[in-house]
Structure 1
């Protein structure tokens, strides 16, 4: 089963989430990127995503494996849309299951940041004015680069008082 996929159809979140259910999982984190009606002060009417499919799929799989290795999560999956999307459509879905919530959150963040930075997926915005423009998809923060790799941390009780 591939962990990263491209789809020219609406993302089925329930079906995408199903393979991530594990009896050993105590945490699950997901990210949904939606098409919004504005960007950089302009009113957006919709988006169009294009991808260099072969390279995007290969690099996407590498990113998913990196997240699993780096954060020690049980499973991770991502679906990214291609084609024409309307306002409110789901453009990208990421799910991560893990023994603990922290690793799931961090792996999810790592995946979206790396996808936006590394994948050959291009976004064209369609504006209400009738104009269109290709926009950069690599403007996310890179805070995770300074995070240490996954390490086992024993559970500690909080002191009350």
Structure 2
């Protein structure tokens, strides 16, 4: 009788595991970072020259000042993408000559952190932005740094993509 209960218990655990969503390795990396730090990106296998453009909650296009903005915004418009309360996304732009070839959009559920890139929101909400760190709307993987700080009013973690002088 005990082996029957063990088998039923194992089946229940397997079923629970199958229902849980597997988090993307990049999302797991971000969740582990602690304030206040500036960290390099983990190796995600993206080729040199790949641009990363984070898009915060409700954001539906990339700032015009970002180098791949025209390509990315055309891609988003074609997809009819509208930002959302519960999701942030990362646009991965691999070095390709034109169009939406090489553009991928990764979606992440809002977690215990928020990704922000709006300069006014950074100035208003970020508790600390260290000297030498420059927030960027889009940044190449080889230059990218992640600033992890706290939101002034709620103490949620904020993650800001940018570059840092070493």
Asked if these proteins are the same fold (TM beyond 0.5), I'd say no
Structure number with bigger Rg: 2
TM-score range with shorter-chain normalisation?
A: under 0.3
Ranked by relative contact order (alpha carbons within 8 Å, sequence separation 6 or more), the top structure is: 1
Structure (1 or 2) with the greater strand fraction:
1
